[in-house]
Amino acid sequence: MKKIQRTNPATMSKPVGNYSHITRVPQGAEWIVTSGQIGTDANSEIPDALNDQVTNTFVNLKSILEAEGLTEENVVKVNIWATEELDWDHLDAKWDALFPADYPSMTVAYISALGLPELKIEIELWCAK
């Protein structure tokens, strides 16, 4: 099967972050979509600090990928919702650890609330293999 392709058209500005404007999924690929992952730790506790929730969320994302036999190369699209301003230095470090080379497409939105009042971030993955 063909590989997932990521491109940034030369006719427009480069992405403002570590993502691709376009991610093309080959015909016949199997789709795996996650629920939004939150910042719970191994004991299902939700820390108060946003950066701690970000760290835990990326641990949880990595666990899901591994459980499904996927790698960062299978991630097509990432949707990030946060209820407060992200510390981009912290998030980018976690992002770059998960996506060291090819960047998936990404959307980030600031919203007023998530499913539980203590949640500050939720991240969903769209994957294909």
Percent of the chain at pLDDT exceeding 90: 86
Whether 35 shows a pLDDT value over 80: the answer reads: yes
Rounded to whole angstroms, how far apart are CA atoms 101 and 99?
6
Domains, the chain, with CATH or none? 30-128 (3.30.1330.40)
pLDDT in the model for residue 1: 58
Element (H, E) at 55: helix 50-67
For residue 94, give the amino acid letter.
K
Give the mean pLDDT of 72-80: 96
- Average model confidence (pLDDT) across the chain: 94
For 66, what's the count of Cα atoms within 13 Å in the CB-facing half-sphere?
7
Specify the residue for token string 């939150």: 38
pLDDT in the model for residue 60: 97
Give the mean pLDDT of 43-55: 97
Whether 32 shows a pLDDT value over 70: the answer reads: yes
